[in-house]
Amino acid sequence: MKKNKKERTKSEVIGTVISDKMSKTIVVEVGRMAVHPVFKKITRRFVKIKAHDEKNLAKTGDRVKLRKTRPISRDKRWRLAHVVGKTV
């Protein structure tokens, strides 16, 4: 491998776990802000992402960081990087 090879940047997102009922899978809600093209009002948009959680570390309500990865199953294209904040 070359020393000066550029590292590929992987996309990462932070969201809230809304379901951990599946084995080794969590459902995470990721939000973003979007501006309406005509009215210029800022709205919140949410997307639900299924992510792979190998050790079942994340629980419902936790803030987690996800990293994009190769396809793991039909729906899972993300992997749990780490838990940012735990719920009480």
Q: Give the distance from CA 54 to its chain's centroid.
A: 14
Confidence of residue 3 (pLDDT cuts 50, 70, 90): low
The CA distance from 53 to 15, in Å, is 14
- For the chain, the domains span 12-85
| pLDDT (0 to 100) of residue 9 | 62
Neighbours of 29 (CB within 10 A): 13
Is the pLDDT assigned to residue 76 strictly greater than 70?
Answer: yes
Radius of gyration of the chain from its Cα atoms, rounded to whole angstroms: 16
- Could you confirm whether domain 12-85 is CATH 3.40.50.300? no
Q: Give the distance from CA 29 to its chain's centroid.
A: 7
What is the SS3 assignment for 3-48?
CCCCCCCCCEEEEEEEECCCCCEEEEEEEEEEECCCCCCEEEEEEE
State the average pLDDT over residues 20-44: 97
| pLDDT (0 to 100) of residue 87 | 86
Confidence of residue 88 (pLDDT cuts 50, 70, 90): confident
Is the pLDDT assigned to residue 42 strictly greater than 70?
Answer: yes
